[in-house]
A and B are shown apart, each in its own frame.
Chain A
Amino acid sequence: MKVGEKYIVDKKQFLDLLISLKSDYDIIGPKKMADGEVTFDEISSTDEITFDYVNEYEPLKRFLTPTREELFQFSGQTNNFNLTPPKDINPFILFGVRSCDVQGFAHQDGFFSGAYVDNYYWARRNKMVVISMACNVPLDTCFCICCNGGPWLDSGFDLQLTDFGDRFLVDVGTQKGIDILSKITTNKATAKDEDLRQQLMQACDEKMVPVAYLAKAIIQISNNRVKEELWEQFGAECFSCGGCTHVCPLCTCYDVQDTMTDEKNGVRFRFWDSCQYCGFTHEASGHNPRGKTKERVKRRFYHKLSYAYINQDGHPGCVGCGRCITVCEAFGLLDMAAVVKRIRRDGYMEKQTDNAQAQS
């Protein structure tokens, strides 16, 4: 078995294999909750797994950067401190994760590397096995085809499944994936199987509703040619609720706080923060470089769509999961697809102006 190869497996057999790995891994998969919502949660038997879902409302980045994560515990007094970092977590399998979230992980992998490697992120990432599920059906908010975010991927997963009813087509992504898949009977996928996948993916592609032609917005934002009036407009519409950054599989910003658990002991933890909150850049002196809503909206789209960031990251800051469309409180005016469309239609200055930004 080699990375890059494709296999056909019996669905029931594969799911039994998954559950049998419980002794070595925590198994996380799509589960229907009492209220009918599908949530990725710990799975202990095959009948807990639902296939009746497209994606969860919350992004799966929480398995790598939990909404609230302990950095260390401290104990002692002002002249005598002990610091204890958290214990290692169990290895875990993320089963059924969608391609857009897998692309989100790829972005986070890059972000949490570099000159300072985020050891808390990698402690989880190195323990994670990704068994992703290509999408046969999109939501009416999905636009991954505009962002290289799906419906199926070439890499980023350990194993990628395509649902053929009673069988899975399995793409082998890594050695971790081989180690799992080689435990059961597999057959090499035939040309016919690949054709079937192609048909399924094309049908999914054709069902996508929103269009987010990023190219024009990228050019106008990178060259600082978006009309100031449009940013003003966005600023007036946005509630600064931070929903868009919360649900974005790529957004990583966090805040850090200490809390005391009793008189002598406490915890330092980090938790998700948002560049859309007014307090995000508020300095102790009272100075706030992004005190106005329009500046914060501008910031969000500069980060998502400027050449400066694209050059650095190797991709635009969107995977087309469409969650910001679902979450936006501002009547669907400020999600990625809407903003890109509004910039494209009439939101930019025709000619390069003197104050256009040079790329650095």
Chain B
Amino acid sequence: MENIYLPQVAVIQDIIDETYDAKTFTLSFEDKAYNEKFSYKSGQFVEASLFGVGEAPFGFSSNPNHKGTFDITVRVVGRVTEAMHRLKVGDTMGIRAPLGNSFPLEESKGFDILIVAGGIGLPPLKSLIEPMLDARDDYGEFTILYGARTPKDRIHTKELEAWSQRKDVTIMQTVDQADDNWDEHVGVVTTLFENVKIDSKTTVAFTCGPPIMIRFVIQDLLTMGFPEDRIISTLERYMKCGVGKCGHCAIGHKYVCVDGPVFSYKQMKRLPEK
């Protein structure tokens, strides 16, 4: 019987300092054969272990089409993440993956795509944007809206820059508080909606960020006429096992770790707790 709680040892290949409190770790499994066979989908997550410290869930932030390594992007919020930030290239962590469901990539083909990300909500969406851009012709208009607290809080600045160079992607960024070097938009991410052309009849919207942001984004999308099943988001909960057993992430009779983390607004609305 497979041991669902035993992690695979993974080696850190690269570490990118994204912001003052967020790093991206590029990992590959120590077991070469396992690494070879390993694959995942956009929206899925890993349980990452530091032995002696603990285990915590992180969404993939890399392009699933790129085999051999995968990324997770980690902001310091607690004990496990603090310890992770002390790791160096060549150090190891335990990984159980892939876990959870995934973004409806196939089902979104033929639609325009709207991405609305806030702060540390961008990494899991990056894992969606990149394979979509690999098959750019499969989708219509492509719009990315990104908001952060300050310019210094922006994750994946290199990728944001690369996407903004593309003619087939519309990208707008905003910050709550600007600094002297910021010449783009100021305000919460929903204030960008009036600056872009979105046709709710032909668009699938993906949003990820702090719970309060998601709530306002969904409200606005509904006002714009988006059907509930074409508003896609991810839910976050305190999580331990990642396999639907420990009970921590339950909302109603759904478990964020196995029934999610990706939910349409239509599914979210039915959950008995908000």
A281's closest neighbor in chain B, by CB?
Answer: B238
Cβ-defined contact, B2 with A117, below 8 A: yes
CB distance from A261 to the nearest CB of B (A): 10
Instruction: Please name 19 further chain A to chain B contacts, defined as beta carbons within 8 Å, in addition to the given A273-B246, A289-B273, sorted by A numbering.
Output: A79-B90, A83-B7, A116-B4, A116-B244, A116-B258, A254-B240, A256-B54, A256-B241, A258-B51, A259-B52, A281-B248, A283-B236, A283-B238, A309-B253, A312-B253, A357-B272, A358-B270, A360-B267, A360-B271
A288's closest neighbor in chain B, by CB?
Answer: B238
Check: A186 CB closer than 8 A to any chain B CB.
no
State which of B92, B253, B258 has its C-beta within 8 Å of the C-beta of A78.
B92
Q: 8 nearest interchain CB pairs? A: A284-B78, A253-B247, A116-B243, A308-B253, A284-B77, A74-B51, A360-B270, A119-B1
* Given A281-B238, A284-B81, also A252-B247 (CB < 8 A): yes
* Given A117-B4, A118-B245, A256-B240, also A79-B91 (CB < 8 A): yes
Chain A interface size, as a band, is 35 or more
Contact with A along B49-89 (1 / 0, CB 8 A): 10111111000000000000000000001111100000100
CB distance from B138 to the nearest CB of A (A): 29
Most chain B CB neighbours (cut-off 10 Å) among A112, A119, A252: A119
Give the complex CA separation of A117 and B4 in angstroms: 8
State which of A114, A270, A287, A308 has its C-beta within 8 Å of the C-beta of B211.
A287
Chain A residues, CB < 8 A from B79: 284
Cβ-defined contact, A253 with B246, below 8 A: yes
- Which residues in A have some Cβ–Cβ distance to B below 8 Å? 71-72, 74, 76, 78-81, 83, 85, 111-112, 114-120, 122-123, 224, 252-260, 266, 268, 270, 273, 275, 280-285, 287, 289-290, 295, 299, 302-303, 306, 308-309, 312, 357-358, 360
Chain B residues, CB < 8 A from A306: 252-253, 272
Cβ-defined contact, A119 with B2, below 8 A: yes
Cβ-defined contact, B270 with A357, below 8 A: yes
* Given A258-B54, A309-B253, also A270-B246 (CB < 8 A): yes
Cβ-defined contact, A85 with B3, below 8 A: yes
* Given A256-B241, A258-B53, also A83-B6 (CB < 8 A): yes
CB distance from B80 to the nearest CB of A (A): 8
CB distance from A109 to the nearest CB of B (A): 13
Check: B178 CB closer than 8 A to any chain A CB.
no
Check: B94 CB closer than 8 A to any chain A CB.
yes
What would be 25 A-B contacts, judged by CB atoms less than 8 Å apart?
Answer: A71-B6, A79-B11, A80-B92, A81-B92, A85-B6, A114-B244, A118-B4, A118-B245, A122-B1, A254-B246, A256-B54, A256-B246, A258-B53, A275-B250, A282-B238, A283-B237, A284-B80, A299-B273, A302-B272, A308-B252, A308-B272, A309-B253, A312-B253, A360-B270, A360-B271
Chain B residues, CB < 8 A from A224: 272
B51's closest neighbor in chain A, by CB?
Answer: A74
Chain B residues, CB < 8 A from A285: 77
Main secondary structure of the interface of B (DSSP, over half): loop
Cβ-Cβ contact count across A and B, 8 Å cutoff: 132
Chain B interface size, as a band, is 35 or more
Chain B residues, CB < 8 A from A112: 245
Chain B residues, CB < 8 A from A284: 56, 77-81, 238
* Given A253-B246, A254-B247, A268-B51, also A71-B1 (CB < 8 A): no
* Given A81-B51, A254-B246, also A119-B240 (CB < 8 A): no
Cβ-defined contact, B55 with A256, below 8 A: yes
Chain A residues, CB < 8 A from B9: 81, 83
CB distance from B94 to the nearest CB of A (A): 7
Chain B residues, CB < 8 A from A273: 246-248
CB distance from B250 to the nearest CB of A (A): 8
Give the complex CA separation of A74 and B236 in angstroms: 29
Check: B5 CB closer than 8 A to any chain A CB.
yes
Chain B residues, CB < 8 A from A270: 5, 246
Chain A residues, CB < 8 A from B211: 287
Chain A residues, CB < 8 A from B247: 252-254, 273, 275
Chain A residues, CB < 8 A from B77: 284-285
Give the complex CA separation of A119 and B92 in angstroms: 25
CB distance from A189 to the nearest CB of B (A): 38
Give the complex CA separation of A131 and B211 in angstroms: 50
Chain B residues, CB < 8 A from A255: 240, 246, 248
